[in-house]
């Protein structure tokens, strides 16, 4: 038996008339009768009692009918699921993120995706700093990740979603807390707090390069696993740090944030990155939603082309 045999049986069982069943299936009556006879031969059952005036199910046909309906419903479910998967309405997208700055962008994206495509499962992986994210995207462990530029990896595409400014975070009682802006050269004798050096944080790398640009290498006296803990240590007087404008909005008690001056460029660009050859419909659906939920900043404002 095949699917068309089951459909033929169901049509005759519901119509109890071979002519009407044939019309319903858009076929001629003789091929329909042939299908039913073949089905009866293969099952070894008489499924219908036929006469010149009537057609009715046998006891065996009555008992088989629920199973046939169940099988056809299962096939319909498979078809609908396949169509939904192909359209990107069902599926799974694994997203990597790290840092306090993602706490603003990530909820905007995930909320928009769940509204537009409730059938897409979002698997969120935290503490995925940029270099780890690149590796996991390339290996296929992640489908999408929040990263910072530059994306110096072949096979990855990206789109800028936010432009942030570098800020200096100081404890409230710091000698420079009253200044409107901080020249990093004035912090040459200060202790610094940073993320762990095994995490591959682009922000930490940028902090070190900014200090080197200002003429010194920062003296890092304490490290922490995340930006929130770094700022808590700064507020406690353990040292100073370089952070980002988005992070400054999340933690304010005991801290002051000041712009950094004297740098060639005080910006950092956050982006979404994915494998260029990933043709997953679910990923494409998420990326499409992201265009509205996390629009690319104005190129004139960001100094980037957003590509």
CA dist., res. 96 & res. 103, Å (int): 12
285-302 in b/e form (b: 16+ CB < 10 A) is bbbebbeebbebbeeeeb
Q: How many residues does the chain have?
A: 307
Identify whether residues 11 and 148 lie together within a single domain.
no
Identify whether residues 53 and 114 lie together within a single domain.
no
Mean pLDDT of 284-294: 95
Identify whether residues 176 and 256 lie together within a single domain.
yes
Residue 137 lies in a domain: yes
Give pLDDT tens digits for 143-167.
999 998 888 789 999 999 999 899 9
- What CATH number has the domain bearing residue 77? 1.10.10.10
Domain that holds residue 54: 3-87
Identify whether residues 258 and 109 lie together within a single domain.
no
Cβ atoms 15, 21 nearer than 8 A: yes
Identify whether residues 250 and 274 lie together within a single domain.
no
Question: Strand, coil or helix: what is 243?
Answer: strand
Give pLDDT tens digits for 57-71.
999 999 999 999 998
Identify whether residues 157 and 176 lie together within a single domain.
no
Give pLDDT tens digits for 105-115.
999 999 999 99
Residue 243 lies in a domain: yes
Which burial class, exposed, middle or buried, applies to 54 when counting CB atoms under 10 A from its CB (0-12, 13-18, 19+)? exposed
> What is the number of domains present in the chain?
3
pLDDT bucket at 233, cuts 50 / 70 / 90 = very high
Where do the H-state alpha helices sit in the chain? 3-15, 18-24, 29-43, 59-87, 102-116, 130-139, 202-213, 227-235, 245-248, 281-293, 299-302
pLDDT for residue 148: 87
Q: Is the pTM of this model over 0.75?
A: no
Identify whether residues 192 and 282 lie together within a single domain.
no
CA dist., res. 131 & res. 272, Å (int): 14
Mean pLDDT of 93-104: 81
Identify whether residues 38 and 82 lie together within a single domain.
yes
Identify whether residues 54 and 110 lie together within a single domain.
no
Identify whether residues 126 and 199 lie together within a single domain.
no
Identify whether residues 170 and 258 lie together within a single domain.
yes
Identify whether residues 175 and 257 lie together within a single domain.
yes
Residue 197 lies in a domain: yes
pLDDT for residue 11: 92
CA dist., res. 212 & res. 290, Å (int): 36
CA dist., res. 97 & res. 142, Å (int): 10
Residue 214 lies in a domain: yes
Cβ atoms 242, 193 nearer than 8 A: no
Cβ atoms 95, 145 nearer than 8 A: yes
């Amino acid at each position: 038996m095949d699917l068309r045999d089951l459909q033929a049986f169901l049509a005759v069982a519901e119509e109890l008339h071979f002519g009407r069943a044939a019309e319903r299936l858009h076929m001629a009556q003789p091929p329909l009768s042939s299908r039913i006879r073949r089905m009866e031969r293969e099952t070894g059952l008489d499924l219908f009692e036929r006469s010149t005036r009537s057609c009715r199910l046998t006891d065996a046909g009555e008992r088989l009918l629920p199973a046939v309906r169940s099988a056809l419903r299962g096939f319909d479910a498979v078809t609908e699921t396949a169509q939904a998967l192909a359209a990107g309405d069902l599926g799974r997208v694994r997203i990597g993120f790290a840092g306090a700055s993602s706490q603003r962008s990530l909820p905007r994206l995930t909320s928009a995706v769940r509204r537009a495509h409730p059938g897409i499962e979002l698997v969120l992986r935290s503490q995925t700093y940029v270099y780890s994210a690149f590796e996991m995207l390339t290996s296929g462990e992640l489908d999408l990740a929040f990263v910072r530029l530059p994306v110096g990896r072949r096979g990855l595409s990206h789109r800028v979603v936010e432009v942030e400014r570098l800020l200096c975070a100081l404890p409230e009682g710091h000698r420079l807390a009253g200044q409107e802006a901080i020249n990093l050269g004035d912090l040459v004798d200060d202790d610094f707090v940073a993320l762990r050096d095994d995490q591959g944080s682009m922000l930490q790398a940028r902090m070190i390069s900014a200090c080197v640009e200002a003429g010194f290498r920062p003296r890092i006296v304490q490290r922490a696993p995340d930006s929130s803990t770094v700022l808590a240590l700064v507020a406690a007087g353990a040292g100073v740090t370089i952070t980002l404008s988005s992070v400054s909005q999340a933690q304010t008690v005991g801290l002051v944030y000041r712009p950094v001056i004297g740098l060639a460029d005080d910006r950092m660009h956050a982006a979404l990155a994915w494998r260029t050859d990933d043709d997953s419909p679910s990923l494409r659906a998420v990326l499409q939603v992201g265009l509205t939920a996390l629009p690319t900043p104005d190129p004139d404002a960001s100094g980037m082309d957003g590509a």
